């Protein structure tokens, strides 16, 4: 049986709970009416996925098809806007309030049960070896093209790892690890609802990204967060499409997410996973870093 979105969110809430939830508990957790939750619970019981309020082995098996299998971190760039600190340290390894930026992201993955982790490194790549003391199981992919191509070169190296996978920009400062999910229903980008944005953002209709752009305003604008999830089918398509776009005229200058959102958008239907300003932030400049961590304001 293929779950619809309502069945998925209800079964997900049951699967992630350490205790048996009442239907009112589920209503409080998901964005569905009591009537809808009641009807969905009947469907899940009839399908054998829930019994006595708990998920069954059959339910766990069906949810396994929505489980995130791995995470790929794009971490090869120079981080020029954070000079001078990036002259000697890759941006993801900068410590903010005593903790490396990338550590918080990796820890969030482990908390969500995602243990297969790849880091695409380039600039000062050998410095990432220090992560092995804390995370001995992570794997590195070396991008020797980082200095002559945009981040699509990192995606090219990781192109066969993108099914059932998160893709992270490795320089995001996360404060709410719960935005990293164990299960995903479909491919999506984390994004923040905005009335106005001067940053990279999406125009969204009926929950689906219709356009990527820099700056926008209106009821359909969502500011892009550099974290996305790709299901099995889309991951397989990305493997082919990234390579095709990369080797097209001017392809090396593209950002990797432009493959599914711009140059091959007809092949994808990418949704939005909502988060909020207080959940995560990208530190773009050294001045912004000094505001967040006073130790740099000297």
> Could you tell me whether strands 139-142 and 172-174 are parallel, antiparallel, or unpaired per DSSP bridges?
unpaired
Q: Do 27 and 83 fall within a single domain? A: no
CATH number of the domain that 197 lies in? 3.90.550.10
Here the tokens at position 167 are 């893709």
Could you list the residue range(s) of the whole structural domain that residue 96 is in? Answer: 70-296
Q: Do 258 and 149 fall within a single domain? A: yes
Last residue of a domain, one of 32, 64, 96: 64
Q: Do 149 and 30 fall within a single domain? A: no
Q: Supply the pTM of this predicted model.
A: 0.93
List all residues 6 or more positions away from 247 whose beta carbon is below 8 Å from its beta carbon: none
Q: Do 59 and 82 fall within a single domain? A: no
Q: What is the structure's pLDDT at 138?
A: 97
pLDDT band with cut points at 50, 70 and 90 for residue 288: confident
Tens-place pLDDT, residues 250-284:
999 999 999 999 999 999 999 999 999 999 988 88
Q: Do 81 and 174 fall within a single domain? A: yes
Please state, in angstroms and rounded to a whole number, the distance separating the CA atoms of residues 174 and 89.
Answer: 19
Which region among 45-49, 72-76, 119-123, 293-297 has the lowest average model confidence (pLDDT)?
293-297
User: Which candidate, 113, 105, 118, places its Cα nearest to that of 281?
Assistant: 105
CATH number of the domain that 36 lies in? 1.10.10.10
Q: Do 195 and 283 fall within a single domain? A: yes
Q: Do 170 and 104 fall within a single domain? A: yes
Domains identified in the chain, total number: 2
Q: Do 149 and 221 fall within a single domain? A: yes
Which region among 7-21, 71-85, 162-176, 233-247 has the lowest average model confidence (pLDDT)?
71-85
Q: What is the average pLDDT score of the chain?
A: 93
């Amino acid at each position: 049986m293929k779950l619809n979105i309502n069945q998925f969110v209800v079964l997900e809430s049951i699967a992630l709970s350490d205790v048996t939830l009442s239907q009112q508990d589920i209503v409080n957790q998901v964005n569905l009416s009591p009537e809808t939750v009641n009807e969905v619970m009947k469907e899940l019981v009839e399908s054998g996925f829930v019994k006595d309020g708990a998920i069954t082995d059959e339910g766990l098996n069906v949810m396994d098809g929505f489980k995130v299998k791995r995470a790929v971190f794009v971490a090869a760039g120079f981080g020029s806007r954070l000079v001078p600190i990036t002259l000697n340290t890759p941006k993801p390894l900068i410590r903010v309030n005593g903790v490396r930026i990338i550590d918080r992201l990796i820890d969030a993955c482990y908390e969500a049960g995602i243990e297969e982790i790849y880091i695409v490194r380039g600039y000062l790549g050998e410095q990432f070896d220090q992560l092995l003391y804390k995370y001995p199981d992570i794997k590195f992919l070396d991008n020797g093209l980082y200095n002559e191509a945009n981040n699509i070169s990192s995606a090219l190296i990781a192109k066969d790892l993108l099914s059932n996978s998160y893709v992270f920009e490795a320089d995001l400062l996360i404060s709410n690890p719960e935005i990293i999910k164990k299960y995903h229903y479909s491919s999506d980008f984390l994004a923040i609802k905005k009335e106005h944005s001067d940053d990279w953002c999406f125009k969204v209709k009926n929950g689906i990204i219709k356009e990527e752009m820099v700056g926008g305003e209106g009821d359909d604008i969502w500011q892009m967060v550099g974290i996305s999830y790709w299901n099995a089918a889309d991951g397989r398509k990305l493997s082919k499409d990234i390579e095709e776009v990369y080797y097209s005229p001017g392809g090396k200058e593209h950002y990797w997410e432009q493959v599914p959102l711009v140059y091959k958008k007809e092949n994808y239907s990418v949704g939005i996973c909502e988060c909020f300003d207080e959940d995560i932030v990208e530190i773009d400049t050294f001045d912004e870093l000094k505001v967040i961590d006073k130790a740099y304001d000297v």
